[in-house]
A and B are shown apart, each in its own frame.
Chain A
Amino acid sequence: MDIFGIPSQAFFGQLLLGLINGSFYAVLSLGLAIIFGLLNIINFAHGAQYMLGAFAALLGLNWLGINYWAALVLAPLAVGLLAVVIERSMLRHLYKLDHLYGLLLTFGLALVAEGVFKNVFGVSGESYEAPEILQGGVHLGFMFLPIYRAWVVVAALSVCALAWYVIERTSLGATLRAATQRPDLVQALGINVPVLVTATYATGAALAAFAGVLAAPIQQVNPVMGSNLIIVVFAVVVIGGMGSILGSIVTGLGLGIIEGLTKVFYPEASAVVIFVIMVLVLLVKPAGLFGKQA
C-alpha cells in the first residue's frame, strides 16, 4: 500500500516519529510556558534538565538498579529538587532585574551541566533498555507499531492533560493563574507566593526530566541531547506563544507531525522546517498562534 507514492510503512513510521517528537515538544514547551508565566524567565536550562532526567534514569539503573518505572517517578523528583536549590539560591535574586538576566543565568547553568556530563561520560552516549513489557511491537496491517513508541505518546499526552487539568480546573491552578497576573495581590490574600514560585520552577524542571526518562530508551542518552532539542522547543514556543497551556500542547504536537512529514517528502528540509515556520508565523501573526499581542 502506498500513500502519495511512499510505502505506508515508511509514511506511518515517520508520522509516528513525528508524533513522538511532537509529544516531547509539547511537554517541554508546556514546562517553559508554566515557568515563564510565573517567573517571567525563559528557562534555558530546560534542555539540560531533560538531559539530566535521562541520565538519572540511566545511572539509577546502572549504579543502583532502579528500574524504569521507578525512574519515571524518581528522576523528575531528583531534578525537581535540584531546581528548588537553583531557584532558592540563584534565580530568586534576579526577579527584580531585566528578564534577560534569568535567560543568561540559566544558559550558564546549562553549559555547566552539559560540560560536566561531556567530560565524565563523553559525547557518544549510552543506550538505555526499555522495560520488557514495552518491548516488541504489533503489526497493524499498514505498519509495524513498536509498543514503546506508542507508550511514549500516551504517557506524554497524559502528563500534558494532567497539567492542563490542574492549571485550568483546580483551585491550585486558579491560585497559580491569579499569581501569574497579580503576584502582589495574591500575596496580600495570604498565599505564600515565593513558595509557589519555587514549586512552579521545580514542576517545570520535573516535567522536562520526565520527558528525558521517556526519551532515554528511544535515543542514545548523551550530554548534548538537551541543547539540540531546546533550540527547537524555543522556536515552538515562539510559534505558539506562551499565553495558553492548551496552545503549547497543540503547537508542539502539530509541529512534530509536520516535521515528521517533512522527513518523508523532503528530508533535506526536516532540520529547518520548524524554524522556517517560525519565520512565517512571525510575519503573519507576530504574537504567535495562541499568544496575546503585548
Chain B
Amino acid sequence: MNSNVSAHASAQKSQRVVLMFVAMLAVGSVAPFLVYPTLLMKLLCFALFACAFNLLLGFAGLLSFGHAAFLGGSAYITGYLCRDLGLTPELGVLAGGVFSGLLGALFGWVAIRRAGIYFAMITLGLAQLVFFLALQMKFTGGEDGMQGIPRGMLLGVFDLSDNIAMYFFVFAVFMAGFWLVYRTIHSPFGQILKAIRDNEARATSLGYDVAKFKLLAFVISASLAGVAGSTKALVFQLASLGDVHWHTSGQVVLMTLMGGLGTVLGPVAGAITLIGLENLLADKVGSWVTVIMGGMFVVCVLLFRRGLVGELNAVLTRNGLNR
C-alpha cells in the first residue's frame, strides 16, 4: 500500500518535471517574438550563471564570492579564440567551459582548504587576482576590453549575426546547462552534496570524501558559469573588465538569493527580476542602480531569505498544493 502511494507520488513528480521543461521550452520559443531578443539573451546568460552559482551555494553550501572570474575569464578566452584564431562559436563556448572548469579546479583546490566565511574571502581574493591579470595582460585589451568578437557561423552553417538565430543558440545552451544542473541536483551525487551542506561532520563520518565532492561541485559550477560568460561574449561581441569585477560576483549572489537559494527555478526567477529591473530602471535612475541593488541585498537578507520561488513553494505547501 505504502509503496503504491510513493510510486504514485513519484509518478506525479516526474510528470511535473516534464511539464516544467515543456513549459520552459514553450515560453523560450515564443519569447523572442514578443520581447527584444538581446535583452532575452542577456537574461538567459545571467540565468545560467545564477543556476551554476546556485548549484554551489544552494546545494553544496559553499559561498563563492569569486564567480565573476569564471564568467569574465572565459569571455576573454572565447573572444580570443573566435576573433583572433577564427574558431566557430560552438567550439569557442566549449573552450570557455573547459577553461573555466580548469580555473575552477585550481580555485577549488586552494579554497576548499577552508570553510564558511574564509571560503568566501579566499574565492574573492583569487577572483581579484584574475581581475588584475585581465587588467594587465595584453590580449584582453585592458581598460577598453576585447571588442569586435564575431558571432560567427554555428557549425559553419547557421549565421549567428541574425539576432533570432543567435537567440535560439543561446536558448539551447541555457536549456542544456539548466538540464545538467537539474540532473546533478537530483543524482546520488547531488544527494551527497546536500548531506555535506546540512551536516559536513556526519557526511565525513559516513565515509564520504567531503573535499572531493566539494571540488567536483565547484568545477561543474565554474564550468557552467564559464559557458554563460562565453555565450555572453558572443551575444554582445565584447569581453570586458566589468564581467571579471567583484560587482559581478555580488550580482550573482543577489540573483540567487532573491530567486530562492537551493530551489531549481529560483536563480532563473532571480536573474529575470534583477536584469529586468536593471533594464527598466537604467534610464530612469542612472547610477543609483548600485544603491538599489545594495538595498535589495539588505531586504532579501533581513526579510526575504527564502526568495521568490522559496516563498511561492511555502505558500503552495501551506495550501496543500505542493506534495
CB contact list, A231-256 vs B, under 8 A: 231-232, 234-235, 237-238
CB nearest to A239 among chain B residues: B125
Q: Are B246 and A282 in contact (CB under 8 A)?
A: no
Q: Are B129 and A119 in contact (CB under 8 A)?
A: no
CB nearest to B291 among chain A residues: A115
Q: Are A238 and B132 in contact (CB under 8 A)?
A: no
Q: Which of A76-84, A146-154, A268-276 contacts B (4 or more CB under 8 A)?
A: A268-276
CB nearest to B250 among chain A residues: A107
Known: A90-B302, A94-B301, A238-B114. A109 touches B294 (CB 8 A): yes
Q: Are A279 and B110 in contact (CB under 8 A)?
A: yes
Q: Are A103 and B63 in contact (CB under 8 A)?
A: yes
Q: Are A271 and B132 in contact (CB under 8 A)?
A: yes
Q: Are A238 and B116 in contact (CB under 8 A)?
A: no
A67 vs B290: C-alpha distance in the bound complex, in angstroms? Answer: 32
| Extra inter-chain contacts (19) besides given A115-B289, A272-B132, A283-B113, CB under 8 Å | A42-B121, A105-B301, A105-B302, A107-B253, A107-B294, A108-B300, A110-B294, A111-B291, A112-B291, A115-B291, A116-B291, A235-B121, A237-B121, A272-B133, A276-B129, A278-B122, A279-B110, A282-B111, A286-B113
Q: Are A115 and B120 in contact (CB under 8 A)?
A: no
| A88 lies within 8 A of chain B by Cβ | no
| A87 lies within 8 A of chain B by Cβ | no
* Across-interface contacts of B301 in A (CB, < 8 A): 94, 101, 104-105, 108
| A99 lies within 8 A of chain B by Cβ | yes
- From B63, B257, B298, name the one whose CB has the most chain A CB atoms within 10 angstroms: B298
Q: Are B116 and A115 in contact (CB under 8 A)?
A: no
CB distance from B129 to the nearest CB of A (A): 4
Q: Are B124 and A231 in contact (CB under 8 A)?
A: yes
CB distance from A20 to the nearest CB of B (A): 21
* Across-interface contacts of A238 in B (CB, < 8 A): 114, 118, 121-122, 125
Known: A90-B302, A109-B294. A282 touches B114 (CB 8 A): yes
A100: which of B111, B120, B288, B291 is its contact (CB, 8 Å)? B120
* Across-interface contacts of B253 in A (CB, < 8 A): 104, 107
A20 vs B166: C-alpha distance in the bound complex, in angstroms? Answer: 52
A235 vs B110: C-alpha distance in the bound complex, in angstroms? Answer: 13
**When each residue 215-238 of chain A gets 1 if its CB lies under 8 Å from chain B and 0 otherwise, what string results?**
000000000000100011011011
Q: Are B117 and A100 in contact (CB under 8 A)?
A: yes
**Which 8 A-B pairs give the minimum distances between C-beta atoms?**
A108-B297, A111-B294, A115-B290, A115-B291, A112-B294, A286-B113, A275-B129, A234-B121
CB distance from A219 to the nearest CB of B (A): 19
**When each residue 118-147 of chain B gets 1 if its CB lies under 8 Å from chain A and 0 otherwise, what string results?**
101110111011001101100000000000
| A1 lies within 8 A of chain B by Cβ | no
B290: which of A103, A118, A294 is its contact (CB, 8 Å)? A118
| A259 lies within 8 A of chain B by Cβ | no
| B295 lies within 8 A of chain A by Cβ | yes
Interface residues of A (CB under 8 A from B): 36, 41-42, 90, 93-94, 97, 99-101, 103-105, 107-116, 118-119, 227, 231-232, 234-235, 237-238, 268, 271-272, 275-276, 278-279, 282-283, 286-287, 294
* Across-interface contacts of A42 in B (CB, < 8 A): 117, 120-121
A227 vs B253: C-alpha distance in the bound complex, in angstroms? Answer: 17
Q: Are B114 and A275 in contact (CB under 8 A)?
A: no
Q: Are A294 and B115 in contact (CB under 8 A)?
A: yes
Q: Are A275 and B110 in contact (CB under 8 A)?
A: no
A272 vs B131: C-alpha distance in the bound complex, in angstroms? Answer: 10
A104: which of B133, B246, B287, B297 is its contact (CB, 8 Å)? B297
Known: A100-B117, A275-B129. A231 touches B246 (CB 8 A): yes
* Across-interface contacts of B120 in A (CB, < 8 A): 42, 100, 103
Q: Are A111 and B250 in contact (CB under 8 A)?
A: yes
A104 vs B124: C-alpha distance in the bound complex, in angstroms? Answer: 13
Q: Are B125 and A235 in contact (CB under 8 A)?
A: yes
| B102 lies within 8 A of chain A by Cβ | no
- From B111, B288, B291, B300, name the one whose CB has the most chain A CB atoms within 10 angstroms: B291
CB nearest to B295 among chain A residues: A112
* Across-interface contacts of B305 in A (CB, < 8 A): 97, 101
CB distance from B143 to the nearest CB of A (A): 14
**When each residue 280-320 of chain B gets 1 if its CB lies under 8 Å from chain A and 0 otherwise, what string results?**
00000001111101111110111001000000000000000
CB distance from A40 to the nearest CB of B (A): 8
Q: Are A115 and B287 in contact (CB under 8 A)?
A: yes
CB distance from A231 to the nearest CB of B (A): 5
Q: Are B117 and A99 in contact (CB under 8 A)?
A: yes
Q: Are B246 and A100 in contact (CB under 8 A)?
A: no
* Across-interface contacts of A227 in B (CB, < 8 A): 246
Q: Are B295 and A108 in contact (CB under 8 A)?
A: yes
A110 vs B298: C-alpha distance in the bound complex, in angstroms? Answer: 10
Q: Are A109 and B298 in contact (CB under 8 A)?
A: yes
Q: Are B297 and A275 in contact (CB under 8 A)?
A: no
Q: Are B117 and A231 in contact (CB under 8 A)?
A: no
CB nearest to B57 among chain A residues: A100
What are 13 contact pairs spanning A and B, CB under 8 A? Answer: A42-B121, A94-B302, A99-B117, A100-B116, A101-B305, A105-B302, A111-B291, A115-B288, A115-B290, A116-B291, A231-B128, A272-B132, A279-B126
- From B116, B121, B257, name the one whose CB has the most chain A CB atoms within 10 angstroms: B121
Known: A111-B294, A231-B128, A268-B136. A104 touches B113 (CB 8 A): no
* Across-interface contacts of B288 in A (CB, < 8 A): 115, 119
Known: A107-B250, A231-B246, A278-B122. A100 touches B63 (CB 8 A): yes
A232 vs B127: C-alpha distance in the bound complex, in angstroms? Answer: 12
A231 vs B121: C-alpha distance in the bound complex, in angstroms? Answer: 8
A116 vs B285: C-alpha distance in the bound complex, in angstroms? Answer: 12
B113: which of A114, A234, A282 is its contact (CB, 8 Å)? A282
